[in-house]
Amino acid sequence: MEMNSNQILDLHGFNNLTKSLSFNMYDICYTSSQEERDAYIEYIDDVYNADRLTEILSNVADIIGANILNVAKQDYVPQGASVTILVSEGPVNDPTKDVFEESPGPIPGSVVAQMDKSHITVHTYPESHPDEGISTFRADIDVSTCGEISPLKALNYMIQSFETDVMTIDYRVRGFTRDVTGHKLFIDHEINSIQNYIPEDIQEMYHMIDVNVYQENIFHTKCKLKEFDLEHYLFFSDTREKLTPEEELVIAEKLITEMDEIFYGKNIR
């Protein structure tokens, strides 16, 4: 069934399609000593603590036009944090506007969607290994919605809320709804690629790979930064002054390998 922006669906009942977006981001850093590793973890736990994550998820709820029903949040010891927000359908302005358009979503400030009986969650995973000198921070955000529009409209904001070296993004639609004739709808909007919901300036910064299963309404996109600047990955700004050119090459190789292994999902060393 081909959809377009002028078409209004006449449904039997309400739209009960479930649309789920999983956004996984990775931040990579070189930490040469236990002191640096501890400082990096402390920095991550401070910048992405439960209160800050709650703020990010609350803005996601605003973008997709949801009322927040309940917030559960937790900072873990020794590291990491989790937030879960239950949401319900919020005020809707022009619910059919932009429903069928593949385009990057807005920053907080405008209501563009509705959803009902839904949730938004985030979990963080800082980790490091003393032998490699690499520390990695991962954040997983899941947005599950029921309603006319997909949570992809919040993807632009989520990308810009984190410092991201590698991203893995999954989107899937499950269940079905019916039109007034009884005809089942297993998806209610056109989608070609998750990339169409990522702004062009961000797309230009990343290598991107799609793995989509269109007949199953499953969409998967992986992203890895194109440019590499060693300075960006050294936790202490004066670290580079202490390195020899040979040491810089070894560290750069370790960092690039780390990002490649995460991007391709396999060990390549």
pLDDT beyond 50 at 92: no
State the catalytic residue, choosing from 29, 58, 118, 135: 118
Higher-confidence residue of 256 and 93: namely 256
For this structure, is 119 an active site residue? no
User: pLDDT band for position 90 (50/70/90)?
Assistant: low
Beta-bridge partners for 174: 18
Other C-beta atoms closer than 10 Å to the C-beta of 260 total 15
Alpha-helical (H) ranges within the chain are 34-47, 50-63, 155-160, 200-203, 230-233, 245-264
State the catalytic residue, choosing from 146, 150, 161, 223: 146
Q: Give the pLDDT confidence score for residue 188 in this predicted structure.
A: 83
State the catalytic residue, choosing from 22, 32, 82, 123: 123
Q: Give the pLDDT confidence score for residue 13 in this predicted structure.
A: 63
For this structure, is 118 an active site residue? yes
For this structure, is 146 an active site residue? yes
Q: Give the pLDDT confidence score for residue 6 in this predicted structure.
A: 42
Q: Give the pLDDT confidence score for residue 9 in this predicted structure.
A: 59
Q: Give the pLDDT confidence score for residue 145 in this predicted structure.
A: 85
Single pTM value for the model: 0.83
By the 8 A CB rule, do 259 and 246 touch? no
Q: Give the pLDDT confidence score for residue 94 in this predicted structure.
A: 46
User: pLDDT band for position 96 (50/70/90)?
Assistant: very low
By the 8 A CB rule, do 183 and 128 touch? no
Higher-confidence residue of 13 and 109: namely 13
The span from the CA of 208 to the CA of 147, in Å, is 29
